[in-house]
């Protein structure tokens, strides 16, 4: 989401913590005791947070997802790889998924504050340590691999466990680290750095692996080999770029699936891959009955899918995040084989700091009780943000009602766009409810710093000023967001469902009150700033917003009164 120059003032002034996501795949999906012993090694490491453990019985494989600082990820992966090598015997392993080692693959994915190049270096560091200390053959892949012929995981793993005893002896397949001897018990492992990948399976109403493969070949980028009119063998590409796929039969479910890796969800999102499978299966006399996510998925993938299916129904996409996710789950059939719990499968939800959003998770009565208590926060700033959120919510409601109004079918998209903008502003304002209180608490924390020595006094003064500056920027952003919301509200007053014109009018009153209230906070906090130039500038910007909002309110209410 792009911020205006004014909104950009309130980007948090903190150093981004470097975070990497690790998704090691272990060749054990049935013995929960073995899986738990492996994940215990990850949880022992400070700085690593286990997010998801997804075992598959038919594949006999478990996908583990955790995040952490780079050093923590290297340590946690090393200990998990070591433990997996002790507990898993590859000579006895059977499963539907291609594999070559106890820890089959271990990718690093940059999450925040770190580049792909830096992430690749940590993957290389882990690979070198595993090869040297565990005496395990290790191959690098994707961004961690310099040899272009060995970047692709499927190329490295070709031949699988059974074929690697001969493959590893070939000069071109000497491991990047570790001995060039294939380990009978542990196999070999592949470590690398890659973009975020979604492992995704589509369910078919067939038990035929051949038929499932036919769909996979239709969809995956690599397509299939066919003969042209000259009888020459050529590659016929599939429908979806950045998609790898095969068909397999899952005895646990009694169905065949199209198993896919979506290697770049910006190129081919989940919902597009799903619809392509749907189209191919239909053409081949089959039906897609649902789908299955392996591991975690980004929030945007789910909300984009929800919007995609709503647009196909010619319905407004300007609904809540929760509703979009619900639509995505039902449309993709993600709950066919087992319950799909967003709080356990969406990566942003697992990383969410519950303390940072304490207020907006309260009930209405709890929020009122907290506000009326003897605590100074939440105060006027948080209340202004919440009033602003209610104001734009009313405008958004009118947009959604208008989008679905009988007889206005040709205008659904117009109102959908207004509703989508309203939802975005509502979400931003809700964040500001807690952020204003967080900003106040930062000031209080700064005043509590020690001041015994001159150095301590200087550090305390500097921190107080930084916190106070931020506490003026937060309500200024509230003002800006509320001013933007006036555009949605005014459009709904003028063109929306006339039966709801007063609702939009009340929205305008809320937005105006929120701006005036937030401006009081801007002024009182700016008063405590030693940087008077900045203080004058931010107060001046606030004054211009307040003046414009009051004029807009007058204009909106004039239209409302004219219609009632």
Q: What's the rounded mean pLDDT across residues 167-184?
A: 95
Distance between CA 371 and CA 431 in Å, rounded? 17
Residue 146: the pLDDT is 94
- Residues 6 or more apart whose Cβ sits within 8 Å of residue 159: 100, 166, 167
Asked if pLDDT for residue 430 goes beyond 80, the answer is yes
Tokens of residue 341, six digits: 């719990």
Asked if pLDDT for residue 3 goes beyond 50, the answer is no
Residue 1: the pLDDT is 24
DSSP string, 529-541: -S-HHHHHHHHHH
Q: Between residues 237 and 10, which one has the greater pLDDT?
A: 237
Asked if pLDDT for residue 351 goes beyond 90, the answer is no
**Band of residue 8 on the pLDDT scale cut at 50, 70, 90:** very low
Residue 5: the pLDDT is 33
- Structural domains in the chain plus CATH codes: 15-193 (3.30.990.10), 198-350 (3.30.70.670), 355-563 (1.20.120.680)
Asked if pLDDT for residue 375 goes beyond 90, the answer is no
Residue 279 falls in the annotated catalytic set: no
- What is the percent of the chain with per-residue pLDDT over 90, rounded to a whole number? 85
Distances (CA, A) of 471 to 87, 170, 200, 360: 54, 64, 44, 19
Distance between CA 372 and CA 387 in Å, rounded? 16
Distance between CA 53 and CA 50 in Å, rounded? 8
Smallest Cα–Cα separation from 378: which of 433, 327, 324, 341?
433
Residue 357: the pLDDT is 79
Asked if pLDDT for residue 66 goes beyond 90, the answer is yes
Write the pLDDT tens digit of every residue in 456-485. Answer: 999 999 999 999 999 999 999 999 999 999
Residue 196: the pLDDT is 86
Asked if pLDDT for residue 164 goes beyond 90, the answer is yes
Q: What's the rounded mean pLDDT across residues 391-419?
A: 95
**Band of residue 319 on the pLDDT scale cut at 50, 70, 90:** very high
- Catalytic residue, from 97, 104, 271, 304: name it: 97
Q: Decide if 503 contacts 560 (C-beta within 8 A).
A: no
- Catalytic residue, from 54, 183, 275, 436: name it: 436
Distance between CA 322 and CA 335 in Å, rounded? 16
Q: Decide if 219 contacts 240 (C-beta within 8 A).
A: yes
Write the pLDDT tens digit of every residue in 185-235. Answer: 999 999 999 988 899 999 999 999 999 999 999 999 999 998 888 888 898
Of how many residues is the chain composed? 564
Residue 436 falls in the annotated catalytic set: yes
Work out the mean pLDDT of the chain and round it to a whole number: 92
Asked if pLDDT for residue 392 goes beyond 70, the answer is yes
Residue 2: the pLDDT is 28
Smallest Cα–Cα separation from 120: which of 143, 104, 140?
143
Distance between CA 324 and CA 423 in Å, rounded? 11
Distance between CA 18 and CA 110 in Å, rounded? 8
């Amino acid at each position: 989401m792009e911020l205006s120059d004014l909104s950009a003032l309130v980007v948090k002034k903190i150093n981004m913590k470097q975070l990497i996501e690790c998704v090691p795949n272990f060749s054990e999906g049935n013995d929960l005791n073995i899986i738990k012993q492996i994940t215990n090694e990850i949880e022992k490491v400070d700085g690593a947070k286990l997010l998801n453990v997804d075992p598959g019985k038919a594949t006999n494989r478990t996908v583990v997802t955790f995040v952490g600082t780079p050093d923590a990820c290297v340590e946690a992966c090393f200990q998990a790889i070591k433990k997996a090598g002790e507990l898993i015997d590859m000579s006895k392993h059977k499963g539907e998924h291609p594999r070559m080692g106890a820890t089959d693959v271990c990718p690093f994915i940059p999450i925040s504050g770190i580049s792909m190049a830096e992430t690749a270096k940590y993957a290389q560091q882990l690979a070198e340590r595993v090869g040297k200390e565990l005496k395990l053959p290790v191959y690098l892949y994707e961004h961690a691999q310099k040899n272009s012929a060995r970047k692709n995981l499927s190329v490295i793993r070709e031949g699988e466990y059974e074929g690697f005893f001969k493959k590893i002896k070939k000069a071109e397949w000497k491991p990047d680290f570790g001995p060039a001897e294939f380990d009978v018990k542990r196999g070999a492992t592949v470590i690398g750095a890659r973009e975020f990948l979604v492992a995704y399976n589509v369910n078919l109403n067939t038990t035929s692996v051949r038929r499932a493969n036919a769909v996979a070949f239709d969809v995956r980028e690599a397509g299939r080999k066919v003969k042209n009119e000259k009888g020459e063998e050529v590659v016929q590409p599939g429908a979806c770029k950045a998609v790898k796929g095969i068909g397999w039969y899952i005895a646990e479910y009694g169905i065949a699936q199209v198993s896919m890796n979506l290697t770049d969800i910006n190129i081919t999102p989940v919902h597009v891959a799903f619809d392509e499978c749907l189209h191919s299966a239909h053409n081949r006399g089959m039906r897609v009955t649902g789908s299955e996510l392996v591991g975690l998925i980004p929030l945007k993938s789910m909300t984009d899918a929800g919007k995609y299916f709503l647009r196909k129904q010619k319905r407004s996409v300007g609904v809540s995040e929760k509703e979009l996710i619900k639509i995505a789950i039902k449309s993709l059939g993600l709950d066919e084989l087992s319950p799909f719990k967003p709080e356990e499968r969406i990566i942003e939800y697992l990383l969410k700091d519950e303390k940072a959003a304490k207020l907006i998770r309260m009930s209405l009565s709890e929020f009122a009780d907290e506000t009326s208590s003897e605590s100074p926060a939440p105060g006027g700033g948080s209340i202004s943000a919440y009033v602003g959120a209610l104001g734009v919510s009313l405008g958004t409601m009118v947009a959604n009602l208008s989008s679905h109004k009988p007889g206005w079918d040709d205008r659904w998209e117009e109102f959908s766009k207004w509703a989508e903008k309203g939802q975005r502003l509502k979400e931003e304002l809700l964040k500001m409810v807690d952020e204003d209180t967080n900003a106040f608490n930062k000031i209080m924390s700064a005043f509590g710093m020690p001041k015994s020595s001159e150095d301590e006094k200087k550090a305390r003064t500097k921190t107080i000023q930084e916190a106070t500056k931020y506490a003026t920027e937060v309500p200024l952003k509230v003002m800006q967001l509320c001013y933007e919301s006036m555009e949605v509200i005014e459009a709904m007053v003028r063109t929306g469902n006339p039966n709801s014109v007063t609702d939009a009018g009340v929205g305008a009153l809320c937005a105006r009150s929120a701006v005036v209230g937030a401006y009081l906070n801007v002024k009182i906090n700016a008063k405590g700033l030693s940087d008077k130039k900045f203080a004058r500038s931010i107060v001046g910007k606030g004054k211009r917003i307040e003046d414009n909002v009051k004029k807009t309110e007058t204009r909106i209410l004039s239209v409302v009164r004219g219609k009632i």
